[in-house]
């Protein structure tokens, strides 16, 4: 895992500045840090903030330290740390002889009860000797709070040796948690629950899609229903037009003008806030990345939220009234429509993986969708490469959530579309993606199926 290797490299550095690990809830931060801590060989004090009063947090941390750092001179159970300064000084002294790792998980929760904690930690770090063997990791799910800690006005600005953001699993990583499913069903599960490890762990690989939907979403209080409500309450928050904007995007109204028509007012401020929270993302034609293009198209950034706000929200009220068993079949029927854009992004992610492995040629600098101003021509995936001082397209691809497709027919259509992209359409390489099988492909066409995308 790349993240684990990054943490190991940070651990091996002689510098004493801390690391910060952050990302959305349920993305696996705590599991990653626990696994990493167990491999360091150091004495580990691992505390997860709960938002309790400062005295309660410090007492709990003292109990953790008493186990990790037994000290005959001070009984931490009977004489806990007096305050945060006392705790940090104590751990620094303990680390004089052998390494100590302090993990403050959910650090934003600690700040709620102790607003001065970032300043206290800054003063401590500024006086910590370079030879000290104390390493500190801060972790948090409150994305806005964590980003504020990294801003210029923050007491901890410039004090981190490592800033590591965790993201949900990519398709091939999610496949590792679904080994008993066919590639097509791995794709379906990824489209429903996304790449969040906890949600993937809920899926019963011995049951059908319909049975899983009934168990996970078909009853009042079922996991995918309550999790969606929790995400909306804790991560999205309330806003005058928030739900209107999100449901519009989930329903396929992805252009700025379409969202404006759906909610009856300018959505710009709401969109900017949701982008800041990483709930949605703004898409540009891949040829315009890095520019100030006004071609504003938006998508829900997480597959699970797109499913929750789209197909599941359509039936949620009746599920809550107890009609879930009857609704599951109609709900399952919406999955194929839901999977179209999900599979397109999974296809693009697969191309990025190929590019990183050097299988798409040299100098690949961007991979994304492309469309014309009038929307009449769209290409699901265009690979851009740097040639001298110019970015040029080198591959165009199309993805279909169909079991089988005719590659020759799709390639001919791609060549016609690519004529609006470049004057050298006949010189491009082409890729065709289907769910199970790509037929009638010539030897120059890159063929991709779910087996390729969802293989570890």
Which of 38-42, 293-297, 317-321, 333-337 shows the lowest mean pLDDT across its residues? 293-297
Q: How many residues does the chain have?
A: 456
Res 210: pLDDT:
94
pTM: 0.88
Place of tokens 């500190």: 136
Which is higher by pLDDT, 99 or 375? Answer: 99
**391 phi and psi angles, rounded to 5 deg:** -90, 130
* Contact status, residue 395 vs residue 431, Cβ threshold 8 Å: yes
Res 445: pLDDT:
97
Res 208: pLDDT:
95
Q: Predicted confidence band at 1 (pLDDT cuts at 50, 70, 90)?
A: low
What average pLDDT is seen over the chain?
A: 91
Provide mean pLDDT across the span 35-62.
Answer: 93
Cα-based distances in Å from 375 to 33, 68, 199, 370: 45, 61, 35, 10
Res 454: pLDDT:
97
Q: Report the DSSP beta bridge partners of residue 370.
A: 379
Instruction: Count CB atoms within 10 A of the CB of residue 243.
Output: 16
pLDDT reading at 224 higher than 90: yes
Instruction: Count CB atoms within 10 A of the CB of residue 113.
Output: 17
Res 374: pLDDT:
80
């Amino acid at each position: 895992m790349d993240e684990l290797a990054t943490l190991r490299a940070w651990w091996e550095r002689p510098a004493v500045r801390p690391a910060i690990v952050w990302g959305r809830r349920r993305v696996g931060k705590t599991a990653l840090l626990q696994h990493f801590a167990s491999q360091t060989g150091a004495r580990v004090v691992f505390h997860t903030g709960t938002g309790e009063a400062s005295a309660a947090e410090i007492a709990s941390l003292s109990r953790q330290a008493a186990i990790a750092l037994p000290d005959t001179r001070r009984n931490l159970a009977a004489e806990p740390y007096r305050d945060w300064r006392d705790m940090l000084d104590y751990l620094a002294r303990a680390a004089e002889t052998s390494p100590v790792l302090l993990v403050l998980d959910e650090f934003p929760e600690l700040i709620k009860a102790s607003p001065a904690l970032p300043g206290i930690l800054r003063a401590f770090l500024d006086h910590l000797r370079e030879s000290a063997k104390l390493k500190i990791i801060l972790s948090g799910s409150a994305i806005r709070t964590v980003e504020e800690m990294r801003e210029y006005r923050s007491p901890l600005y410039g004090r981190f040796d490592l800033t590591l953001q965790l993201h949900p699993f990519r398709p091939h990583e999610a496949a590792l948690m679904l080994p008993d499913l066919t590639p097509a069903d791995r794709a379906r599960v990824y489209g429903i629950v996304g790449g969040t490890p906890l949600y993937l762990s809920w899926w019963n690989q011995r049951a059908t899609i319909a049975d899983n939907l009934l168990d996970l979403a078909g009853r009042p209080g079922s996991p995918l229903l309550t999790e969606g409500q929790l995400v909306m309450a804790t991560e999205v928050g309330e806003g005058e037009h928030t739900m209107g904007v999100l449901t519009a995007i989930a329903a396929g109204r992805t252009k700025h003008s379409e969202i404006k028509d759906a909610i009856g007012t300018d959505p710009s401020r709401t969109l900017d806030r949701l982008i800041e929270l990483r709930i949605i993302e703004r898409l540009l034609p891949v040829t315009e990345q890095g520019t100030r293009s006004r071609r504003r198209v938006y998508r829900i950034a997480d597959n699970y939220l797109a499913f929750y706000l789209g197909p599941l929200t359509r039936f949620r009220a009746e599920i809550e009234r107890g009609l879930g068993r009857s609704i599951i079949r109609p709900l399952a029927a919406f999955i194929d429509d839901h999977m179209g854009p999900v599979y397109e992004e999974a296809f693009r992610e697969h191309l990025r993986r190929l590019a990183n492995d050097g299988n798409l040629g040299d100098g690949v600098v961007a991979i994304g969708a492309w469309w014309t101003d009038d929307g009449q021509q769209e290409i699901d995936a265009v690979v851009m490469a740097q040639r001298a001082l110019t970015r040029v397209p080198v591959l165009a691809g199309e993805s279909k959530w169909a079991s089988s497709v005719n590659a020759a027919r799709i390639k001919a259509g791609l060549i016609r579309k690519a004529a609006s992209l470049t004057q050298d359409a006949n010189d491009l390489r082409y890729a065709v993606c289907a769910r199970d099988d790509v037929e009638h492909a010539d030897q120059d066409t890159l063929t991709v199926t779910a087996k390729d995308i969802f293989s570890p």
